[in-house]
Structure 1
Amino acid sequence: MMKLQKRIPLSAACFALLLGSLVQPSPADEPVASPALGKRLTRIDLDGHRGRRWQLEDFQQDSHLVVAFLGTECPLAKLYAVRLQSMHKTLADKGVRVIGVMSNRHDSLLDISAFAQRQSLTFPIVKDAGGRLADDLGATRTPEVFVFDDQRRLRYRGRVDDQYGIGYVRDNPRRNDLREAIDELLAGTEVSVPRTEAVGCIIGRKKDVQTDAAVTYGGQIAAILNRHCVECHREGEIAPFALTEYEEVAGWADMIAEVVRDQRMPPWHADPEHGKFANARRLSDEEKQLLYDWAQAGAPAGDLSNLPVPPAKVAGWQLPRQPDLVFNVSSQPFEVPAEGAVRYQYFRVDPKLDHDVWVEAAELKPGNRSVVHHILAFAVPKGQRRGLDGARGFLVGYVPGARVEPWPAGHAKRIPAGSELIFQVHYTPIGTAATDQSELGICLVDEATVTHEIVTTSAVQTRFAIPPGDADHPVAAVSPEFPADAKLLSMSPHMHVRGKSFEYAIKSTSEVLLSIPHYDFNWQTTYVLKQPLPLEAGDRIECRAVFDNSAANLNNPDPSKTVKWGDQTWDEMMIGYYHLSVPRDRDDSGPTTAERRRAAVERAVRLATFDRIDRDKDGKLTKAQTPRKLHKVFDDLDADGDGVLTRQEAETQ
């Protein structure tokens, strides 16, 4: 089975977390002395990444000084560094100077220089060795900004704006806090909002180490990270920093403790009360406590002479053999901008299949893992619209951390002759412009060896309208009937940024198969059952979703609007994908189970299409009400030829 486990977009957050119990405070929870507004900045005496020594006197000609704490690997710092550079250029002639301060213990001058070059930064950037300036100002996060007036008195501190945060990204900021504070100061007025909460990565300070600590990096921590984190947190993968070297990991110790405690890492959202899953990502209570204790002890190194070897990296394709078919997802490399929200990209490819093919294994391979949030591939009849109809033909998906495992012997997916491939790609900016050209690889198998078809279908609801401000809007959907002898393999819930919770249940018994109490759009996970679940023929899956269209949902692009079905993230979807194993054997009484399954899916598509066109909801359509491209379908379904298509005819034909 394909194990789809999704990593959060770098533009949306630094990390995301797993289940954890609040055990004890970490060093990150200890308060840092916070200067009062009006405090004077009396000293800057720090080395720049180009070798110059910067002192406060160097900024005498500047009327206002913006001191911005940054980090070379923090995703939000990367994004906001670009914005600070833009402000530096536009405000320099007004006497506003930006200075970047790097206080992380693990950010070397070489790292800082590379960061400045990648982000094309021209304002001064200094290394705050020992964190003296960070301590003096009470800075705790990257990015965090402090604005001083011409008397070098603190007038504003906090975030740059509210576009990016932990777990969310908006198309545009709702409030440009830093720019508004500067404009008010330049106009000679008081800052209307002088303090906001900075969101980002904890500054990795050098701390006193407990020399007799029982928990050390060499003793326990490196092994925990290898088991749960390193597959993504390593060079060349999507994670914003590596967790393979002691000094690097020690600088992130407080942040690691925070994300584990907040249940953002490792990324796993299934309620443990329902279902057992082969791809569950969970830290044990003991492992979590070891991480907390290690951070509390100052991240001691221990014995580094015999560290565990990180898991091997997969070179090239993860498929069981070289793919028989390879397709570019996009015809040309796609250019991802340095910042902002990038709408979903859709690409179509004609594989030119003149006969059905059977897929033993498939893999989507990103061309640039640092910017690919996820890819979904669909195989659909040519000319299908990309939204609901495209979603019917789910083939394979990619999310960061995904690992390809071949299906059991005799199992395969079918791509019908004449299909085209539709790819949905979600890109996330990382603070520097990038390009990507991803690939789909497919391993084929002889149809004669296929005993079971892997069938992906869904419970889907397109007819909903989420009212403005509604924090708990329920939407339900029921799947087509199960074919005979089918087994459930895995489930893939899909909503957009207003998704709040999602649940799968067997309709006849109400048995809950999967519950996601806190749905996170940033992690499009496929939940793979430890053991395939036999299903009763004729039964169905019922999916229940809840949407949050309120202002309290930080992901919500506009809580004042009614939200309906749509492709983009500012629209919504409600799809409960699930994946079945269906025997291909034929009995003497009629069609194969695969044929019955396809008939059920086709019926569901007809009804969904009928309901979309039936504007007055009277259950009847005339040919004039039907789009021209569907006239032939209309004629085929109009059983009595009276020129009126009823919903019953659409269901039974």
Structure 2
Amino acid sequence: MHKAARQLHRHLVNLAIVLTASVFAANANADQTISDFTLSSHRGVDWSLDSVADSKLVVVAFLGTECPLARLYGPRLSELQNRYQAKDVAFVGIDANTQDSMTEISAYVARHKITFPMLKDVGNRVADQFKAERTPEVFLLDQNRTVRYRGRVDDQYLVGRSRDKVRRKDLAIAIDELLAGKDVSVAATEAIGCHIGRVRKTEPHGDVTWSNQIVRIFNKSCVECHRSGEIAPFQLEKYDDVIGWEDTILEVIADNRMPPWFANPKHGTFSNDARLSPEEKQLIRTWVKNGMPQGNAADLPEPPKFVKGWRMPKADQVIKVREEAFEIPADGIVDYQYFTVDPGWKEDKFVTAVEARPDNVAVVHHIIAYIVPAGSEDRKTQDRRMLVGYAPGSTPQVLDNGTAIHIPAGSKLVFEMHYTPNGTKQKDLSYIGVKFTDKSNVKKLLRGAAVLNTKFEIPAGAANHKVEADFRLKSDQMLIEMSPHMHLRGKSFRYEAFYPDGTHEILLDVPNYDFNWQLTYELAEPKRLPKGTRIHCTAIFDNSKHNLVNPDPGSSVTWGDQSSEEMMIGFLSGVDADPITTETAVSGD
């Protein structure tokens, strides 16, 4: 949910957008007994709680067809059903979302190979009886149909974040304890996921309508990702798309998790600042409170237009990330993938346009193509230079006015691919397109730099470990953008400029770094940095147990490609402040 820009990373849109949590005390459902209910399944067959009266235990799972975690946990629940079926444990799924149709539920069952009955709870009647709030949210009933456990299936996913693996299988543990005749040791956990889309009880009224105000906010800040064919988990293009998602929307904008933006407003002004204004947030809150009136269709603006296919001029060369498609599993965490490709550049190249394109937008979190000069295959050195990146909403790099990117002869490309499983096995074969110009046409170079430190070691348990790095400019530059990069232990990141005249300023401050949303921050106006300016980057890492996504608080951490390791890179890019001659065009990279 952000303005189109050269954003190089994106959050796990299919998770961070909607993951929210409900917290219950340990005895939240003590002695709550569920009375019989009857609902129709996606096959049109009635199912009642009494129909499994002989089962020792019953697992009731509230799910939704578009919630990312419901997609991931549907197959996991089927695996649990297969494991416990012989032990007289029945499983049933319930979709109480007002926005989900029977057709969509049937597609969800087929796509994710759900093996238990899936029921439609029209009017949220059964969800209200359970006091269910989220999808997915599970309830474990004993033989008396008393709730003995409620909450999550396991602890892999948190609010807007995810662990590399499951640490506690909460539902399976509760089942095993009851089957063994024991009390459930943990009777309630946080349910992480989307709000159940309940039927609105307020008659629509008021002057704030979808057609007149709200659609304009969503078109500006949301629809670029939340539209058909894009990676975001649900659409926000039309009025009917929004119904049922209002509570989730209110929550994520209140928490400032949507649209994603992490720059401290005290330092710098950025053209791609994605924040909603206080007035926009209040309009959305008022609209929901007033029952979400649709308004007059005649007031609807023209929908935004998005280009399909290449957005750069015709490419002179298309380069795939690898020879064969990469297979992405249905769930879990996929480590960063690095693919080295030799594009066959036997002579210096000058690039005037480049675009990274995902083959499978449903699972590609981000793409970064790095230039690795001949004889410098180590990606950990400063020779690693970014050529182009992709994230939902990013635009191609198209240069004009004699500006180009210089690539030395013999250079190879290293593709960094971040994939996010979406509940079904997928394949991807992403690619980039490149357009060249002759050296004689070059007046300015777009220069990229990486302010990095590869020699750090973050001690086990350290909550605020500082790592610093410096980069000194060899010529006057016009700074255009900055992009901090860390992994799961990243806590904050800051860029500072120390000028030759002794003055100093903060260029960018990211006090709450989020691995899932590694944004590029584009200056509203290019900033002149004189030759000799020292760019100082400071990264703070949290390797303590309080960092809930920390893979291993008990171990020290050093540089490494994978998210379980760490990186400290302050990417920045700019152009020469003054025109350069043809003879000096390739110097000073």
Q: Is the 8 A contact 1:399 1:524 kept in 2?
A: no
Q: Is the 8 A contact 2:365 2:419 kept in 1?
A: yes
1:337, distance to aligned residue in structure 2 (A): 0.3
1:122, distance to aligned residue in structure 2 (A): 1.3
Residue 143 of structure 2 corresponds to residue 150 of structure 1: yes
| 1:89–1:305 distance in 2 versus 1, CA, 3 Å | farther
Query: Please, which of 9, 14, 17 is the counterpart of residue 17 of structure 2?
Result: 14
- Counterpart AA for 1:487: M
Q: For residue 556 of structure 2, what is the aligned residue in structure 1?
A: 562
Q: Secondary structure at the match of 1:105?
A: coil
1:477, distance to aligned residue in structure 2 (A): 0.6
Residue 2 of structure 2 corresponds to residue 41 of structure 1: no
1:305, distance to aligned residue in structure 2 (A): 4.6
Q: Is the 8 A contact 1:384 1:390 kept in 2?
A: no
1:13, distance to aligned residue in structure 2 (A): 2.8
Residue 407 of structure 2 corresponds to residue 412 of structure 1: no
Moved more, 293-302 or 151-160: 293-302
- Counterpart AA for 1:525: L
Matches within 5 A, 1:134-149: 134-149=127-142
1:592, distance to aligned residue in structure 2 (A): 3.8
Query: Please, which of 509, 517, 536 is the counterpart of residue 523 of structure 1?
Result: 517
Residue 6 of structure 2 corresponds to residue 3 of structure 1: yes
Q: For residue 445 of structure 1, what is the aligned residue in structure 2?
A: 437
Q: For residue 184 of structure 1, what is the aligned residue in structure 2?
A: 177
CA distance in 1: counterparts of 2:581 and 2:440, whole angstroms:
14
Q: Is the 8 A contact 1:491 1:577 kept in 2?
A: yes
Superposed CA offset, 1:193-234 (max 9, x none)? 001111111111111234332222122111110111001000
1:304, distance to aligned residue in structure 2 (A): 3.2
CA distance in 1: counterparts of 2:546 and 2:377, whole angstroms:
34
Q: Can you give the 5+ residue segments of structure 2 that lack an aligned partner in the other structure?
A: none
Q: For residue 246 of structure 1, what is the aligned residue in structure 2?
A: 239
Superposed CA offset, 1:252-283 (max 9, x none)? 11111111110111111111111111222121
CA distance in 1: counterparts of 2:346 and 2:58, whole angstroms:
67
Q: For residue 479 of structure 2, what is the aligned residue in structure 1?
A: 488
Matches within 5 A, 1:511-550: 511-550=505-544
Q: Is the 8 A contact 2:356 2:396 kept in 1?
A: no
CA distance in 1: counterparts of 2:419 and 2:205, whole angstroms:
46
Superposed CA offset, 1:20-43 (max 9, x none)? xxxxxxxx99999x9632211112
Moved more, 182-191 or 5-14: 5-14
CA distance in 2: counterparts of 1:226 and 1:30, whole angstroms:
33
Query: Please, which of 337, 341, 348 is the counterpart of residue 340 of structure 2?
Result: 348
CA distance in 1: counterparts of 2:8 and 2:378, whole angstroms:
24
Query: Please, which of 259, 269, 288 is the counterpart of residue 295 of structure 1?
Result: 288
Matches within 5 A, 1:78-477: 78-319=71-312, 321-382=313-374, 384-389=376-381, 392-404=384-396, 406-477=398-469
CA distance in 1: counterparts of 2:542 and 2:75, whole angstroms:
31
1:306, distance to aligned residue in structure 2 (A): 4.3
- Counterpart AA for 1:98: F
1:409, distance to aligned residue in structure 2 (A): 1.6
Q: Is the 8 A contact 1:230 1:310 kept in 2?
A: no
Q: CA RMSD, aligned part only?
A: 2.2
1:407, distance to aligned residue in structure 2 (A): 2.5
Superposed CA offset, 1:167-199 (max 9, x none)? 212121111111100010111100000011111
Point out the structure with the larger helix share: 1
1:6, distance to aligned residue in structure 2 (A): 3.6
Q: For residue 581 of structure 1, what is the aligned residue in structure 2?
A: 575
Q: Which has the larger radius of gyration?
A: 1
CA distance in 1: counterparts of 2:74 and 2:507, whole angstroms:
44
How many residue pairs match? The answer is 581
- Counterpart AA for 1:360: T
Moved more, 204-213 or 217-226: 204-213
1:355, distance to aligned residue in structure 2 (A): 1.0
Q: Secondary structure at the match of 1:112?
A: helix
Q: Can you give the 5+ residue segments of structure 1 that lack an aligned partner in the other structure?
A: 18-27, 599-653
Percent identity over paired residues: 46
Q: Secondary structure at the match of 2:181?
A: coil
1:44, distance to aligned residue in structure 2 (A): 2.0
1:12, distance to aligned residue in structure 2 (A): 4.0
- Counterpart AA for 1:249: V
Q: Is the 8 A contact 2:327 2:427 kept in 1?
A: yes
1:330, distance to aligned residue in structure 2 (A): 1.8
Superposed CA offset, 1:515-563 (max 9, x none)? 1111111112111112111112112100011111122222211111111
Q: Is the 8 A contact 2:58 2:90 kept in 1?
A: yes
CA distance in 1: counterparts of 2:288 and 2:238, whole angstroms:
16
Moved more, 439-448 or 96-105: 439-448
TM-score w.r.t. the length of structure 2 is 0.95
- Counterpart AA for 1:446: D
CA distance in 1: counterparts of 2:29 and 2:156, whole angstroms:
26
| 1:175–1:7 distance in 2 versus 1, CA, 3 Å | same
TM-score w.r.t. the length of structure 1 is 0.86
| 1:378–1:531 distance in 2 versus 1, CA, 3 Å | same
Point out the structure with the larger strand share: 2
CA distance in 1: counterparts of 2:339 and 2:330, whole angstroms:
22
| 1:478–1:594 distance in 2 versus 1, CA, 3 Å | farther
| 1:202–1:307 distance in 2 versus 1, CA, 3 Å | same
1:485, distance to aligned residue in structure 2 (A): 2.5
- Counterpart AA for 1:144: E
CA distance in 1: counterparts of 2:113 and 2:214, whole angstroms:
36
